[in-house]
A and B are shown apart, each in its own frame.
Chain A
């Protein structure tokens, strides 16, 4: 499936993360200023106060590398690792937004459904916080109509669905070669997610933080894009926006 990240060779390992970082070759769009892949890893960084995050058991064994400490009833996530992963994830979102990619926010938590949808509306991106119908990604051409464009990035603000099982969209995104960012809690499985962000997905404070950060990153990227278009659009009358 073609998206702005070009043709990606992805194998789906059962354990371990997909190392998609090295194999990604962003497709060069027609206008020259967009060709310059923003080299700095922190181009759209935002400094935000990080909070301590905990989660009750049952925790998954796959999350052990991200945990700082673990006891019988609480797991504490290592926030240094979280910060690094979150910075990476925000950079990826910003890059996607800069290249006018479609970002889909997914969360199946009923408490934060309204918040996630408002965030998506404010960014100008898309959200799906409702019941996931089977063929939304895999059967898209029949469900939506021929010529539909699938999301270029899926951001999971909670990787579990209402029955505490992994959300179907993670598996579908891997099938359709769509990179994913996911806030993985200590009871989640991070193996299929491209850019996992270990963190709490239960408290409203944490969710508001994530929404704010993603919204800020996307808005900054879009502003930068518009700025660049204005600056370079005049000197290249034949450039078509990708």
Chain B
């Protein structure tokens, strides 16, 4: 009779360690220090391998060497071989908050959110400071109705994520709202210019969205003829065009005449359209180079490049008219990929009732 082991389950649920409850993996300071030392030694070895100077081996050189030594065709960039400083790889952890006698370093340690509350304490201290200053001026009678105002410009308060990043601590929405309220209160006081630098440190400049087209500069070649160059893209085609103000209407594409390169009328019309729109059909000499894609996309790429180059020869109003006509907008349409379970990008397989 074969003895069958009664134990079927290897590790019963009660004895198995709950790995999720431990939280994210914690690295000790010594471990990270060791990793940093190993990284430095490895960097010098790599420099020697590549035959470069170990002293001035920057992170870009490291990336270049790794890409050379370990070429990878993986699409996911983060899955490729990587050699970076351990501080960038291992997530930042809070250092131990107390000294050898186990007394915490920060005076607000027992609140739980020490950096946020100490920041609020400091902020409130500044508010009180400004109020005291104002009271002193009022007592002396030097309180002016229009004191120097802070120039905020186009800026906004730091977002909750940015504040969390600067304090290295998680903040709740109510805490963030309190922070905004206190900052607004400080701004509402007439003499807030005392703490101008502090306020501006917590404001983020809004990026001025450049609605204007970048006009390619007008250059002069040796014979004194004005010309400008521009590039354009459509689908997978890339083109670059040099527009010369000669006076002839000569067009060359990749060294060949445009009549030979584009036998189809539609493609030639695409080339002509920007010139026709600006009314400068016979004035310019076009020297084009184009690669990639098919005939229609090459024509579209060239059209975009010509319109961009034409901007430097044309007035601002006409440029705006060109933009409204859609000549300066790059066409974002690209080929949509085929999905599994379907015949094409959108076409599904024939539906059979039974």
Q: Do A and B bind each other?
A: yes
Interface residues of A, Cβ cutoff 8 Å to B: 100, 102, 104, 113-114, 117-118, 120-121, 124-128, 130, 133, 136, 143-145, 147-149, 151, 241-242
Interface centre among B96, B102, B111 (most CB of A within 10 A): B111
A/B pair count, beta carbons within 8 Å: 52
Give B75-114 as 1s and 0s: 1 = Cβ < 8 Å from A's Cβ atoms.
0000000000000000000001110011110011111110
**Bound form: Cα–Cα A147–B100 in Å:** 11
Are B128's CB and A102's CB within 8 A? no
Contacts of B109 in A (CB 8 A): 126, 144
Are B107's CB and A125's CB within 8 A? yes
Given contacts A126-B104, A130-B117, whether A149 and B112 have CB atoms under 8 Å apart is no
**Bound form: Cα–Cα A149–B104 in Å:** 8
Given contacts A114-B121, A117-B121, A126-B107, whether A143 and B98 have CB atoms under 8 Å apart is no
Are B102's CB and A147's CB within 8 A? yes
Partner of B97, one of A128, A133, A145, A241: A145
Tell me the count of chain B residues lying within 8 A, CB to CB, of chain A: 19
Given contacts A136-B112, A149-B98, A149-B102, whether A117 and B128 have CB atoms under 8 Å apart is no
Return A144 CB to nearest CB of chain B, in Å.
Answer: 7
Contacts of A242 in B (CB 8 A): 101
Which 8 A-B residue pairings sit nearest by Cβ, starting from the closest?
A: A149-B102, A121-B107, A128-B111, A128-B110, A130-B111, A117-B121, A126-B110, A114-B124
Contacts of B124 in A (CB 8 A): 113-114
Main secondary structure of the interface of A (DSSP, over half): loop
Closest to A114 in B: B124
Contacts of A130 in B (CB 8 A): 111, 113, 117
Contacts of B113 in A (CB 8 A): 130
* 5 A-B contact pairs sorted by A residue (CB < 8 Å): A100-B103, A114-B128, A124-B107, A128-B111, A148-B102
Closest to A242 in B: B101
Return B131 CB to nearest CB of chain A, in Å.
Answer: 12
Closest to B112 in A: A133
Contacts of B107 in A (CB 8 A): 117, 120-121, 124-127
| B125 is an interface residue with CB less than 8 A from chain A | yes
Are A117's CB and B112's CB within 8 A? no
Return B217 CB to nearest CB of chain A, in Å.
Answer: 58
Closest to A241 in B: B101
Interface residues of B, Cβ cutoff 8 Å to A: 96-98, 101-104, 107-113, 117, 121, 124-125, 128
Contacts of B102 in A (CB 8 A): 147-149
Return A152 CB to nearest CB of chain B, in Å.
Answer: 10
**Bound form: Cα–Cα A128–B125 in Å:** 16
**Bound form: Cα–Cα A102–B121 in Å:** 21
Return A151 CB to nearest CB of chain B, in Å.
Answer: 7
Contacts of A102 in B (CB 8 A): 103-104
Return B62 CB to nearest CB of chain A, in Å.
Answer: 35
**Bound form: Cα–Cα A124–B111 in Å:** 16
Closest to B117 in A: A130
Known: A100-B101, A102-B103, A151-B110. 10 other contacts (CB 8 A): A100-B103, A113-B124, A114-B121, A126-B104, A126-B109, A128-B111, A144-B97, A144-B109, A145-B96, A145-B97
Return B19 CB to nearest CB of chain A, in Å.
Answer: 17
Contacts of B111 in A (CB 8 A): 128, 130, 136
Contacts of B110 in A (CB 8 A): 104, 126-128, 136, 151
Contacts of A148 in B (CB 8 A): 98, 102
Closest to A147 in B: B102
**Bound form: Cα–Cα A121–B128 in Å:** 17
Interface centre among A125, A149, A151 (most CB of B within 10 A): A149
Closest to B121 in A: A117
Contacts of B117 in A (CB 8 A): 130
Contacts of B125 in A (CB 8 A): 114, 118
**Bound form: Cα–Cα A242–B97 in Å:** 18
Return B126 CB to nearest CB of chain A, in Å.
Answer: 11
Closest to A120 in B: B107
Closest to A131 in B: B111
Are A126's CB and B108's CB within 8 A? yes
Are A149's CB and B108's CB within 8 A? no
